[in-house]
Amino acid sequence: MIKKFFITGTDTNIGKTTISGILLKKASNFGYKTAGYKPISSGIKKYKNKNSYTIKNTYQFINEDVVILKKNSSVKLSYNEINPISFFENAPPNILSLIKNKKIKKKDLSFGLKNIAQKSNWILIEGAGGWYTPISDKYTFSDWVKKEKLTVILVVAIKLGCINHAILTEKSILSDNLKCGGWIANNIFPKNKYNSYYIQTLLSYIKSPLLGIVPYFKNTNEINVNNINILLPE
């Protein structure tokens, strides 16, 4: 049986990719053939190609989130398999799609997922932004998730405003008749005297299980997965 999860967040830039990397490693440790999938990415950076020995000053254009998913997947996937649709600028997918005249079709997202499902049995699909991020003028990312009947994981950035955002997001997921496999509290700031109160309040309001609390990391490259207590969603 193939397990497929969609990871969304209460906002953008709240650590979905970092959490995805941790979950992929955890699942791999349990013996799953894991794969990360980011069907749509925005924001590409230029890096000098360190692997080029014959041509000087060659560069590659990559999205950092895709690189992290590729690095933490246990099965070998190409960059394009993990991320079939990409945009250079960092903006909402529906806006970039319109400006660049590059339509985003749900069937293309599904085709990429089907391809990965042939190679792995534990797939983590990372969305863009929050639950209702539009990917066209007619439908949002959540519409595709409903089509695929994916179990959703909610990442909550622990900060001012997270309580309202988290409650609304979970209500929306459940109202779409989808399963929320759990939520993860991500401490994106070093210290805040209200953090524990935020989490306690969320425990009172969110029906889905708390899978874990991720501490603040100044450098995410130094994360030791074995030291982070996160449960895998069912």
Reported confidence tier of residue 60, pLDDT bands at 50, 70, 90: confident
Identify which of 36, 62, 4, 63 has the alpha carbon closest to the alpha carbon of residue 126.
36
Average pLDDT over residues 45-52: 68
Residue 25 has pLDDT above 90, yes or no: yes
CB 135 within 8 A of CB 102: no
12 is known to lie in a ligand binding site: no
Position 77 in a domain: yes
186 marked as binding residue: yes
- Beta strands per DSSP E along the chain: 3-9, 34-37, 40-42, 45-48, 59-62, 85-87, 122-130, 151-157, 180-186, 210-214
Q: Kindly state whether residue 53 falls inside one of the protein's structural domains.
A: yes
- Number of structural domains in the chain: 1
For residue 212, being part of any structural domain is answered with yes
pLDDT over 70 at 233, yes or no: yes
CATH code of the domain covering residue 171: 3.40.50.300
The answer to whether the annotation marks 127 as part of a ligand binding site is yes
Give 30's contacts (C-beta < 8 A, 6+ positions apart).
232
Residue ranges making up the domain that contains 136: 3-227
Q: Which residue matches tokens 């991020």?
A: 133
**Percent of the chain scoring above 70 in pLDDT:** 95
45 confidence band (pLDDT: 50, 70, 90): confident
Whether 129 has a binding-site annotation, put simply, is yes
List, for residues 117-174, the tens digit of each pLDDT value.
999 999 999 999 999 999 999 999 999 999 999 999 999 999 999 999 999 999 999 9
Instruction: Tell me whether residue 67 is in a domain.
Output: yes
Residue 216 in any domain: the answer is yes
- Residue 38 annotated in active site: yes
233 belongs to a structural domain = no
Q: Is residue 232 part of a domain?
A: no
Look at residue 54 and tell me whether its pLDDT is greater than 60: no
Q: Are strands 59-62 and 45-48 parallel, antiparallel or unpaired?
A: antiparallel
pLDDT on residue 50: 63
Active-site residue, from 26, 38, 70, 159: 38
pTM: 0.93
User: 211 in a domain, yes or no?
Assistant: yes
